[in-house]
């Protein structure tokens, strides 16, 4: 990974001067988050006193990571950018497409077979463009990143919402959509609204049954699923420095559950130990040399109320283990209150399955502590009452915990080791009997527990806890069991108690692995052929979108006037459509099928203006496309909220929609539309939404003098011959207008502009 060392050296060299410039610009001490952000301002941009939650700022991230579901479209787009190689170190991780059914080996082999064309495509495109490729079975993106790529003071983006996991090693790591990843890989700056800052002061020290997971379970209870939106959560204090680096990773990982942009811990002795433990002593040496820049300034932590927008304090010595759920990760129950909650709410007390591991909780520390309980179950003659699965986060962790005997112990307790992959955490779980939709309870050490997420059964009550608590409850087979106070009856009828879990932060014999599952890319990829079968259902090479024709747009058909919430899920549904993420034509058959038609209150039923009949949205739009007729989509407030999924912008563009006109946009979706060369417009007067009629033919005027800040005119030609002329606004800057004119941002990148 010599490339990395040079890259990290270059990042660290900039730190002293950039931090000095930032301090001067803001005129006060800096938090760690601010230091890292200012150190990554786009080359040539002078530091300024950015307004948190308001200013949009360009950054140069150091690295990009992609998982296999989202990498497909990100890389298909990158192939359009006309670059020979990625501009920053980038990796692809094959983790999301492996279904858990019987156990690691069989499940992995089955997935390799089923997803062969996707894996072959990702491997070949990675090889060609200088991207590191982690094969199926190598591990879960965030664990592999933490073990190999995360570094203190770095900045990365990843096409997955739990990318913030790398904050455990002091990196600003943010989840994004594929279009953003494509830009950064092409060497363009990446824009982010300067975040607000939430400080979490940790005092005291964890002990007994409490684990790092309980910190974030508690924080989720305080802040709720929306409380972190637009903010970076920065942890500090003596409690923070007492946590292992992987424990910090768990906390940062699950910051996604409170909507945080990302979460972060400062560099400390635990970070150093983890870097050395994962054979990155050279990075630790470099980090030590600029240590003062890799945490917040001392004044900031002495008076946090003065420097953070919100401050929370948690005393780890008093923190109880927590269990959160069901159906939402912010319903936080201290262990001592959980049994009563189960009874009062009528949740099924019988625990069917306990699942440990995943990207969130499969460190050596997690596994060794859980194994100490499994060993007790064996020693104390307790038969585990629930099913129990273990999902290692990486082959390195799996190999090491196997070598150290832990997997064997789990086996004796009746546990099943699953592949090093997402599996049940993302619904890739062929759970026996789930289709009967029976009410039941499971508990996991994962991060999300929304209805249907794990097994597709809306009646599965999923709870989230530390691996230790999951293991104890799986042994008891009972959600109301409290291992701190309660006893269990063993095979010999004796009452036995589980002792507190014990484990090691790092393996005493070091980590080991035979084949980590990494494929380095070719030095010169120019001769590498990218493998896409033209008959494939799942993959399709992209064609560039057509450039603007240079005139105003006349006679656009109204495709749909969407009423109420229209999120990216309404525009481009997930679920079974996931398999078409790499095939724009096929996935476009889900375009807007979840949006509610304002004229009939129904979904996926709109009037075809060519025939007067009602049809499905994608089918009607395909008919317009066939006739070469453009169309327009009208929407309500906050159109496109939800994920940064670029498919929601690409599908309408691909099918020939020319403009999206709404009361207001969710900003990321608005940017995605602009990137794809679409017109993203807002009503100057939101009440004009009511003027739009089902049979309207619509003109958009003013495009020949399209300029920043200058409104456009929309003419609504009603079927009865009357007209309405309305003013519409846009937020295009000069560069974005150039995207529109070129047909897409990618077309411009390719042209080298």
Pick 153 or 424: Cβ nearer ligand SF4:
424
| CA–CA separation, 22 and 13 (whole Å) | 15
| CA–CA separation, 613 and 624 (whole Å) | 13
Which of left, alpha, beta for 553 (phi over 0: left; psi -120 to 50: alpha)?
beta
* Residue 406 beta carbon to ligand SF4: minimum distance, rounded to whole angstroms: 19
Q: Which strands make up the sheet holding 231-236, listed edge to edge?
A: 262-265, 231-236, 196-203, 310-315
Contact characters 41-80, ligand SF4, x per CB under 6 A? ----------------------------------------
* Residue 387 beta carbon to ligand SF4: minimum distance, rounded to whole angstroms: 19
First-residue to last-residue Cα distance in the chain = 32
Interface with ligand SF4 in residues 433-452 (CB under 6 A): 446-447
Give the E-state strand segments of 244-343 in sequence order: 262-265, 310-315, 322-324, 332-334
Residues 6+ apart with CB under 8 A from 2: none
| CA–CA separation, 417 and 390 (whole Å) | 5
Pick 294 or 359: Cβ nearer ligand SF4:
359
Report the relative pairing of strands 614-615 and 606-607 from DSSP bridges. antiparallel
* Residue 559 beta carbon to ligand SF4: minimum distance, rounded to whole angstroms: 33
* Residue 358 beta carbon to ligand SF4: minimum distance, rounded to whole angstroms: 4
Pick 212 or 660: Cβ nearer ligand SF4:
212
Residues 93, 322, 431, 448: which is the catalytic one? 448
DSSP state of 429: B
* Residue 97 beta carbon to ligand SF4: minimum distance, rounded to whole angstroms: 11
Tokens at residue 697, please?
A: 């033919």
Pick 225 or 715: Cβ nearer ligand SF4:
225
Catalytic (active site) residue 645: yes
Count the site residues for ligand SF4 by CB under 6 A: 13
Q: Tell me the backbone φ, ψ of residue 93, rounded to 5 degrees.
A: -130, 120
Nearest to 496 by CA among 471, 472, 479, 480: 472
Contact characters 296-335, ligand SF4, x per CB under 6 A? ----------------------------------------
Pick 577 or 614: Cβ nearer ligand SF4:
577
Pick 278 or 445: Cβ nearer ligand SF4:
445
32, 296 contact by CB (below 8 A): yes
* Residue 323 beta carbon to ligand SF4: minimum distance, rounded to whole angstroms: 18
Is residue 506 classed exposed, middle or buried when 0-12, 13-18 and 19+ CB atoms within 10 A define those classes?
Answer: buried
232, 263 contact by CB (below 8 A): yes
Give the E-state strand segments of 292-339 in sequence order: 310-315, 322-324, 332-334
Contact characters 449-488, ligand SF4, x per CB under 6 A? ----------------------------------------
Contact characters 543-562, ligand SF4, x per CB under 6 A? --------------------
Give the E-state strand segments of 12-111 in sequence order: 56-59, 63-67, 90-93
Pick 278 or 358: Cβ nearer ligand SF4:
358
Residues 95, 183, 268, 699: which is the catalytic one? 95
Region from 39-47, 140-148, 309-317, 597-605 binding ligand SF4, contact rule CB under 6 A: 140-148
Which one among 210, 358, 441, 682 touches ligand SF4, defined by CB under 6 A? Answer: 358
Pick 63 or 653: Cβ nearer ligand SF4:
63
Catalytic (active site) residue 317: no
* Residue 416 beta carbon to ligand SF4: minimum distance, rounded to whole angstroms: 17
Residues 6+ apart with CB under 8 A from 262: 163, 164, 167, 172, 173, 174, 232, 233, 252, 255
Region from 139-147, 478-486, 505-513, 650-658 binding ligand SF4, contact rule CB under 6 A: 139-147
Pick 164 or 594: Cβ nearer ligand SF4:
164
Number of Cβ within a 10 Å radius of residue 190: 20
| CA–CA separation, 254 and 213 (whole Å) | 9
Pick 142 or 583: Cβ nearer ligand SF4:
142
* Residue 360 beta carbon to ligand SF4: minimum distance, rounded to whole angstroms: 6
Report CA 737 to chain centroid distance, whole Å: 29
Catalytic (active site) residue 160: yes
* Residue 335 beta carbon to ligand SF4: minimum distance, rounded to whole angstroms: 23
Q: What angle do CA 624, 630, 634 make, to 5 degrees?
A: 100
Region from 138-146, 218-226, 258-266, 279-287 binding ligand SF4, contact rule CB under 6 A: 138-146
Number of Cβ within a 10 Å radius of residue 99: 21
Interface with ligand SF4 in residues 158-177 (CB under 6 A): 160, 162
Residues 63, 96, 538, 658: which is the catalytic one? 96
SS3 115: coil
Residue 359 interacting with ligand SF4 (CB under 6 A): yes
List beta partners, residue 56. 193
Nearest to 347 by CA among 365, 331, 363, 364: 331
Q: Tell me the backbone φ, ψ of residue 626, rounded to 5 degrees.
A: -60, -35
Which one among 47, 141, 397, 513 touches ligand SF4, defined by CB under 6 A? Answer: 141
Pick 124 or 389: Cβ nearer ligand SF4:
389
* Residue 160 beta carbon to ligand SF4: minimum distance, rounded to whole angstroms: 6
Interface with ligand SF4 in residues 75-134 (CB under 6 A): 95
Pick 392 or 525: Cβ nearer ligand SF4:
392
160, 178 contact by CB (below 8 A): no
Interface with ligand SF4 in residues 238-257 (CB under 6 A): none
| CA–CA separation, 170 and 173 (whole Å) | 9
357, 393 contact by CB (below 8 A): yes
* Residue 521 beta carbon to ligand SF4: minimum distance, rounded to whole angstroms: 23
Report CA 562 to chain centroid distance, whole Å: 27
The CA radius of gyration of the chain, in Å to the nearest whole number, is 26
Interface with ligand SF4 in residues 492-521 (CB under 6 A): none
Report CA-CA distances (Å) from 679 to 518, 620, 649, 660, 663.
42, 20, 11, 6, 14
| CA–CA separation, 139 and 95 (whole Å) | 6
326: cis peptide before it, omega within 30°? yes
* Residue 741 beta carbon to ligand SF4: minimum distance, rounded to whole angstroms: 38
309, 198 contact by CB (below 8 A): yes
Residues 4, 62, 68, 160: which is the catalytic one? 160
Residues 271, 643, 644, 744: which is the catalytic one? 643
653, 747 contact by CB (below 8 A): no
Interface with ligand SF4 in residues 414-433 (CB under 6 A): 422, 425-426
Number of Cβ within a 10 Å radius of residue 56: 11
Residue 140 interacting with ligand SF4 (CB under 6 A): yes
78, 129 contact by CB (below 8 A): yes
Residue 147 interacting with ligand SF4 (CB under 6 A): no
Catalytic (active site) residue 309: no
Region from 135-143, 292-300, 532-540, 704-712 binding ligand SF4, contact rule CB under 6 A: 135-143
* Residue 612 beta carbon to ligand SF4: minimum distance, rounded to whole angstroms: 45
Pick 160 or 688: Cβ nearer ligand SF4:
160
Residues 645, 647, 653, 669: which is the catalytic one? 645
Please list the active-site residues: 95-96, 160, 448, 643, 645
Residues that bind ligand SF4 (CB under 6 A): 95, 140-142, 160, 162, 358-359, 422, 425-426, 446-447
């Amino acid at each position: 990974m010599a490339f990395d060392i040079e890259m990290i050296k270059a990042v660290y060299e900039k730190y002293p001067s950039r931090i000095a410039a930032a301090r001067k610009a803001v005129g006060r001490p800096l938090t760690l988050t601010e230091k890292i952000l200012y150190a990554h301002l786009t080359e040539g941009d002078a530091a300024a006193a950015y307004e948190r939650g308001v200013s949009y700022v360009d950054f140069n991230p150091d690295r990009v990571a992609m998982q296999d579901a989202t990498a497909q479209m990100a890389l298909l787009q990158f192939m359009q950018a006309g670059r020979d190689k990625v501009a920053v170190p980038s990796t692809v991780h094959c983790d999301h497409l492996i279904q858990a059914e019987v156990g690691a080996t069989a499940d992995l082999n089955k997935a390799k077979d089923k997803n062969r064309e996707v894996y072959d495509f990702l491997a070949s495109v990675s090889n060609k463009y200088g991207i590191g490729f982690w094969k199926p079975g190598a591990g879960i993106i965030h664990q592999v990143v933490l073990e190999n790529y995360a570094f203190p003071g770095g900045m990365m983006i990843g096409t997955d919402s739990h990318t913030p996991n790398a904050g455990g090693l002091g990196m600003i790591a943010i989840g994004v959509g594929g279009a953003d990843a494509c830009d950064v890989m092409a060497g363009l700056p990446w824009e982010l609204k300067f975040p607000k800052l939430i400080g979490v002061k940790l005092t005291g020290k964890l002990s007994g049954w409490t684990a790092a997971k309980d910190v974030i379970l508690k924080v989720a209870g305080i802040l709720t699923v929306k409380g972190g939106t637009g903010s970076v959560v920065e942890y500090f204090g003596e409690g923070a420095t007492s946590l292992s680096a992987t424990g910090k990773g768990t906390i940062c990982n699950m910051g996604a559950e409170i909507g945080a942009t990302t979460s972060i811990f400062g560099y400390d002795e635990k970070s150093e130990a983890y870097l050395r433990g994962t054979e990155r002593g050279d990075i630790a040496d470099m980090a030590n040399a600029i240590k003062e820049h890799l945490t917040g300034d001392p004044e900031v932590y002495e008076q946090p109320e003065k420097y953070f927008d919100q401050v929370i304090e948690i005393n780890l010595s008093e923190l109880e283990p927590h269990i959160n759920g069901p159906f939402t990760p912010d319903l936080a129950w201290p262990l001592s209150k959980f049994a009563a909650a189960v009874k009062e709410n009528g949740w099924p007390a019988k625990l069917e399955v306990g699942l440990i591991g995943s990207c969130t909780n499969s460190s050596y520390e997690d596994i060794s502590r859980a194994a100490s309980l499994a060993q007790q179950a064996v020693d104390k003659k307790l038969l585990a009452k629930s099913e129990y699965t273990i999902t290692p986060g990486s082959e390195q962790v799996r190999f090491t915990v196997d070598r150290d005997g832990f997997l064997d112990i789990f086996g004796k307790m009746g546990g099943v080791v699953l592949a090093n992959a997402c599996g049940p955490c993302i619904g890739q779980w062929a759970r026996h009997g789930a289709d009967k939709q029976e009410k039941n309870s499971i508990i996991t050490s994962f991060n999300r527990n929304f209805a249907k997420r794990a097994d597709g059964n809306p009646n599965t009550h999923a709870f989230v806890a530390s691996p230790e608590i999951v293991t104890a409850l799986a042994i008891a087979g009972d959600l109301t069991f409290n291992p701190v106070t309660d006893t269990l009856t063993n095979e010999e009828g004796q009452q036995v108690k589980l002792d507190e879990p014990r484990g090691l932060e790092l393996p005493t014999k070091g980590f080991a692995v035979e084949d980590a599952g990494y494929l380095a890319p070719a030095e010169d990829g120019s001769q590498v052929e990218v493998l896409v079968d033209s008959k494939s259902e799942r993959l399709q090479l992209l064609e560039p979108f057509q450039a603007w024709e240079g005139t105003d747009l006349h006679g656009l058909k109204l495709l749909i006037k969407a009423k109420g919430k229209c999120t990216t899920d309404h525009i481009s549904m997930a679920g079974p459509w996931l398999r078409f993420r790499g095939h724009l034509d096929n996935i476009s058959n889900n375009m807007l099928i979840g949006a509610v038609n304002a004229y009939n209150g129904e979904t996926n039923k709109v009037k075809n203006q060519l025939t007067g009949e009602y049809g499905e949205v994608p089918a009607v739009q395909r008919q317009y496309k066939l006739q070469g007729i453009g169309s327009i989509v009208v929407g309500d407030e906050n159109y496109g909220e939800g994920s940064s999924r670029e498919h929601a912008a690409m599908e309408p563009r691909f099918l020939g929609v020319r403009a999206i006109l709404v009361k207001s946009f969710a900003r990321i979706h608005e940017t995605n539309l602009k990137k794809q060369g679409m017109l993203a417009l807002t009503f100057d007067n939101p009440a004009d939404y009511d003027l739009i009629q089902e049979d309207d033919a619509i003109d958009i005027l003013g495009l020949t003098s399209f300029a920043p800040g200058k409104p456009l005119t929309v003419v609504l030609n009603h079927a009865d011959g009357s007209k309405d002329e309305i003013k519409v606004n846009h937020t295009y800057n000069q560069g974005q207008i150039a995207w529109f004119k070129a047909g897409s941002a990618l077309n411009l990148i390719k042209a080298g502009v």
